[in-house]
Chain A
Amino acid sequence: MTIFLQLVASGVAVGMIYAAIAFGYQLTFATSKTLNFGQGEALALGALFGLTLAPFTGYWLMIPLVLVFGFALGAVVECLGVRPAVKIKSEYGWIMATIALGIIFRNLAENIWGRDDLKFPSPLPEEALQLGGIRMLPMELLIIAGALLMMLAVEIFNRKSIWGKAVIATSNDIDAAGLMGINTKRVITLSYSISAMTAAFAGVLVAPVTLTGATMGAVLALKAFAVAIIGGLESGLGVIVGGLILGVAETLTGFYISTGYKDVPGLILLLVVLSIRPVGLFGKAVIKKV
């Protein structure tokens, strides 16, 4: 039983890493029906930027600076990659553009920080905590708490602030929102900024546990994408549930079946969800009127 709980605990920690990254996909999809495929690179840039700042500012003071960096990065991506494609009503232009920007960012990071995996100094003790037979790193608990807090903050922003309400209005009906005098273009920019900000934050959050480097986001962002599909691209709650399902499925399969097949159940789940409920477990089914 302890073994099972330990596996679940580790799976939850990994799952929350996926969820924190997947959350960013959901934000931009809600407003503009587009995604930033360079989300993994935003994560890596955030982590590397934080790694450079940390010696001067310490871990906690570095976080607000990384948030500002992520915010600006998102605006750049939207401005260069998404807006031109949306303007000419290109259905797929933004896909290529965000992927291309991601590659550019990765090469940039490789030139600045090199291509080695680096150690991100942990702000918390690296001794595992004993919680009733289960052992977890303090940093893993911080990831879970930090990711939940981040999602909560974004939800509160969306529900309470005037800008957030504009975001929700835009995601409900972009044309109607535009007619009501909401500057939907700026709302979309804002959603990209917040999305990249959450990715950058997720970067510094997970970096002490994963490895830090220009390519750290590649595998994680792909898993997070699967999580976003499983959970539903329009639901914050879905992302959390999707992340937990995938994370726990990986560790359980690794232990009870084989570590060689660790990634298989997640992919099977992805296929099943896509064939039975294409909008995701928590997605809203919408009828597209043509």
Chain B
Amino acid sequence: MRLTTRAFVGALLGATALATLGALPSQAADPIKIGVTGPYTGGSSAMGVSMRDGARLAAAEINKAGGVLGRQIQLVERDDEAKNEVGAQVAQELISKEKVVATLGFVNTGVALAAQRFYQEAEIPVFNNVATGTIITNQFKAPDYDSNYVFRNSAYDVLQAGMMVDEAVAQGHKKIAILADSTNYGQLGREDIEKYLGAKGVKPVVVEKFNIKDVDMTAQLLKAQQAGADVILAYGIGPELAQIANGMAKLGWKVPMITSWPASMQSFIDIAGANGNGVVMPQTFIEDKTLPKRKAFLEEYYKTYGVTKIPTPVAGAQGYDSVFLIAAAIKQAGSTDGPKIREALENLKEKVEGVVTTYDKPFTAADHNAISRNMVVFGKVQDGKIVYAKDADAKNAGVVRVKEKSSN
């Protein structure tokens, strides 16, 4: 097995090298190809499409200003359907057929884990801009690997789980109920929450599961109610989180609900309706026009796609920023060579102004997560929109939250 893998990698590398050589003479005119992989259909499509649309805006903006290294950026978009096997196929196609210099995307943790090894083997940087699984950036970590080609600018699970727990404790809640969906995403998140609670010496009063497409949450909620829970920490995606909110309303039981970030999905807002009001979740980006950069981004997004709200604001903003980060790295590297772009990313000299934050040395060789905890705020569902949950955050909305040094 080891041999065949090696042979495969060798073949892949050879192909890449040949392709690069072959492309050399006409390089000046050729566009720089960047892969964009995400679910544009299916249950998580709201996140994927927002991410892709954000990335498109960024690419258009860069191209209008003359592109990178005098070349235009061309996004090669592929639908991974939120399926692991399709994601792996897309990765191979983007690498060996489209010859992308980098890829960004991934909404689903499972897809990222299945697909990014192809980039690692081909030494092409891959940029997670939505998926949150903690393990994603640790998959090819030193000392097992010489260099890690996986980067991320989304708030990873450990960070979100910690925030959710701290928020519950800060609100004065003692009896915590955890509800998590039965997918990889939900169960990894639940583990992170339990671990964090354990470190604080708190034991949740109930830990319950639900399935994707579950119709009825009565059993889970009654258990939490019977155990005397005074807060619910829920880890899942939009539709099922909405069923929990609706189930609570049905039982006439109301305790605060703190969820993972997907409660900001449009499907949560639509399905939960008034029952969703007051639900809080960690967010890296809230739709507000406080900074000129954010204002321009939001207005451009609304105008280009004919909407009044980004379906999933966090995904849209992170998708937009990820293109700028890669473009800055290519510029600094002065080439489209994978290892050189990686080195540039790990030591970005230029400050990159995005809409989530201004990235000032977002990555180091050891730290491939651009987002630190101080950059994430709590959003709150209020009458169909996501707003700042805390007055202090709303007041400081215009202050750019920059990454704390070596906080990850």
Query: Residues of A with Cβ closer than 8 Å to B?
Result: 3, 6-7, 10, 13-14, 17, 110, 114-119, 126, 128, 130, 135-137, 206, 209-211, 215-216, 218-220, 250-255, 258-260, 262-263
Chain B residue numbers with a CB within 8 Å of A17 are: 215
Name the CB-closest residue of B to A223: B215
- Given A215-B213, A255-B219, 20 further pairs, Cβ under 8 A: A6-B222, A7-B218, A114-B45, A115-B42, A115-B45, A116-B45, A117-B271, A126-B273, A128-B251, A130-B252, A135-B252, A209-B215, A219-B211, A220-B215, A251-B219, A254-B218, A254-B219, A254-B220, A254-B223, A255-B223
Chain B residue numbers with a CB within 8 Å of A110 are: 41
Bound-complex Cα distance A251 to B217 (A): 9
Chain B residue numbers with a CB within 8 Å of A119 are: 270-271, 273
A197 to chain B, nearest CB (A): 22
- A260 near B219 with CB under 8 A, answer no
- B41 near A216 with CB under 8 A, answer no
Chain A residue numbers with a CB within 8 Å of B238 are: 117
* B226 is an interface residue with CB less than 8 A from chain A: yes
Q: Enumerate B169-223 residues with CB–CB distance to A below 8 Å.
A: 182, 208-211, 213, 215-216, 218-220, 222-223
- A3 near B208 with CB under 8 A, answer no
Chain A residue numbers with a CB within 8 Å of B219 are: 7, 10, 250-255, 259, 262
- Scoring B41, B222, B249, B252 by chain A CB atoms within 10 A of each residue's CB, the highest score goes to B222
* B36 is an interface residue with CB less than 8 A from chain A: no
Inter-chain contact total with CB atoms closer than 8 Å: 91
Name the CB-closest residue of A to B208: A259
Query: Residues of B with Cβ closer than 8 Å to A?
Result: 41-43, 45-46, 182, 208-211, 213, 215-216, 218-220, 222-223, 226, 238-239, 243, 249-252, 266-267, 270-271, 273
Name the CB-closest residue of A to B270: A119
Bound-complex Cα distance A215 to B249 (A): 26
Dominant secondary structure of chain B at its interface with chain A: helix
Known: A3-B226, A211-B213, A259-B210. A118 touches B41 (CB 8 A): no
Return 13 A-B CB contacts under 8 Å, by A number. Answer: A10-B216, A117-B271, A119-B273, A126-B249, A135-B251, A210-B213, A211-B271, A216-B213, A252-B219, A254-B223, A255-B219, A259-B208, A259-B209
- Scoring B208, B215, B250 by chain A CB atoms within 10 A of each residue's CB, the highest score goes to B215
3 smallest CB-CB distances across A and B, nearest first, come from A254-B219, A10-B218, A255-B219
A15 to chain B, nearest CB (A): 10
A113 to chain B, nearest CB (A): 12
- B250: contacting residue among A137, A219, A220, A252, CB under 8 A: A137
- Scoring A10, A110, A206, A220 by chain B CB atoms within 10 A of each residue's CB, the highest score goes to A10
Bound-complex Cα distance A114 to B223 (A): 35
Chain A residue numbers with a CB within 8 Å of B220 are: 254, 259
Chain A residue numbers with a CB within 8 Å of B252 are: 128, 130, 135
Known: A13-B216, A115-B41, A117-B267. A211 touches B239 (CB 8 A): yes
Name the CB-closest residue of B to A9: B218
A3 to chain B, nearest CB (A): 6
Chain B residue numbers with a CB within 8 Å of A7 are: 218-219, 222
Chain B residue numbers with a CB within 8 Å of A216 are: 213
Chain B residue numbers with a CB within 8 Å of A220 are: 215
Bound-complex Cα distance A250 to B220 (A): 11
Chain B residue numbers with a CB within 8 Å of A10 are: 216, 218-219
Bound-complex Cα distance A209 to B214 (A): 11
A259 to chain B, nearest CB (A): 5
Chain A residue numbers with a CB within 8 Å of B218 are: 6-7, 10, 251, 254-255
- A135 near B216 with CB under 8 A, answer no
Bound-complex Cα distance A170 to B209 (A): 47
B5 to chain A, nearest CB (A): 35
Chain A residue numbers with a CB within 8 Å of B45 are: 114-116
Name the CB-closest residue of A to B238: A117
Bound-complex Cα distance A17 to B210 (A): 19
Bound-complex Cα distance A206 to B215 (A): 10
Bound-complex Cα distance A130 to B252 (A): 9
Chain A residue numbers with a CB within 8 Å of B270 are: 118-119
Bound-complex Cα distance A216 to B243 (A): 14
- B182 near A117 with CB under 8 A, answer no
- Scoring B45, B250, B252 by chain A CB atoms within 10 A of each residue's CB, the highest score goes to B250
Chain A residue numbers with a CB within 8 Å of B223 are: 254-255, 259
Bound-complex Cα distance A258 to B215 (A): 17
- B41 near A260 with CB under 8 A, answer no
Name the CB-closest residue of A to B239: A117
B223 to chain A, nearest CB (A): 6
- B249 near A128 with CB under 8 A, answer yes
Bound-complex Cα distance A218 to B239 (A): 16
Chain A residue numbers with a CB within 8 Å of B250 are: 128, 135-137
A265 to chain B, nearest CB (A): 12
Bound-complex Cα distance A250 to B215 (A): 11
Name the CB-closest residue of B to A18: B215
Bound-complex Cα distance A216 to B209 (A): 20
